[in-house]
Amino acid sequence: MRKNFTYWIAVTLLLTIATFSCNKIKTGFISDNIYYNVNPFTVAQGITTVSAGLVIDGSTTPVNVKLLAVKDMATGADASKYLLTKDTVRVYKGNVTADDSTIALLSAKLKDSTLAPFSINPIGGRLQFTQASKFVPVGSYNIDLQVSNVRGTRILTNACKINVVGSIPDTVSYKAYNHSDATYTNFVGFSASLLDIKVTYKPDGPDKIIYVWKDKNGKPWNPANGEVIGRPGRPNFSDFDPYYPVVKTDTSLEYKYPGGVPVFPVFTTSKNYPGFVGGPYYYSIVGKHTDVAMAVNTTLTVGFFLTKGTFVVTTTVTDVTRVP
């Protein structure tokens, strides 16, 4: 009797082991609630931007992410030709300084890089935008993702809305205004608000930056006639754009620049004025061409972020009249 009892215990134990051997123990966990914390995500054209990764809600890491589709939300059409097609952009391969003062020297510090505007980091799912996004049309897009780990796979339809907004082509970061005598010894300060500075961007124009000065009646001073000069002892835009000679016209100073560089100016400290970092640019309207009979001194700093086309920087001096 004891033998039979022992026998049946052994059989039961073997059957139990066999049963558990046939049912593999599942490992890991993958959530049904995986998402981006920042949604919608906004990016400006041409600006390198990276998002945080997916919120994985306790899922076992690593989490592998694959982009399945990118869609134009306005039409529902596939938008991969805009966001995934590689384009050539110029990037730095070395530090550019004022010593890189010729096109040849500057070119040695730049390289062409072939980049897609948008990609998904395959581990964690960060949204990644490069400088090539400057060519992506402004609008709203959405993406579908496949997310997987050791436990399984989830499909995230419309995982994140991406808003592509227009890039800022330029910015006026500083301005100052004063009058002085002809020797620039005695100065009278005025509010910079008396200078109305506007920048107009023409993307299809030649690669030029044009500076114009107008009086309170909208009449332009004539640089070709010596009415506008770089203020002595201070940097002007030529110190940050040594690549081409300045052209003086009867309404403007024109500076050609090397198109396609990442930003312009490409260096922040000029060779002749190392104490002035990032500009500014000092110009003087000669006293005999003003109704105040004093030199009218305008100072400004402008940065340019879209480096193809024509920029016209117009400074209107709202309290002075031109005298031809």
Rounded CA gap, 257 and 167, in Å?
Answer: 20
Over residues 274-293, the pLDDT tens digits come to: 999 888 999 999 999 999 99
Determine if the pTM surpasses 0.95.
no
User: Quick one: how far is CA 176 from the chain centroid?
Assistant: 26
Phi, psi at residue 291, to the nearest 5°? -80, -5
> What is each CA distance from 240 to 101, 183, 232, 280, 283, in whole angstroms?
9, 25, 16, 10, 14
Confidence of residue 5 (pLDDT cuts 50, 70, 90): low
Give domain 41-165's CATH architecture: Sandwich (2.60)
According to the model, what pLDDT value does residue 6 have?
Answer: 57
Spatial separation of the C-alpha atoms in residues 214 and 312, rounded to whole Å: 13
Map out the domains of the chain as residue ranges: 41-165, 170-317
CA nearest 97: which of 277, 267, 243?
Answer: 267
Q: pLDDT, tens digit, for every residue of 11-66?
A: 555 555 545 455 556 789 999 999 999 999 999 998 889 999 999 999 999 999 99
Residues 313, 41: Cα–Cα separation, whole Å: 33
Length of the chain: 324
Tens of pLDDT, residue by residue over 227-276, are 999 999 999 999 999 999 999 999 999 999 999 898 899 999 999 999 99
SS (H, E, C) 138-171: CEEEEEEEEEECCCCEEEEEEEEEEEEECCCCEE
Task: Tell me if 297 sits within 8 A of 284, measured CB to CB.
Answer: yes
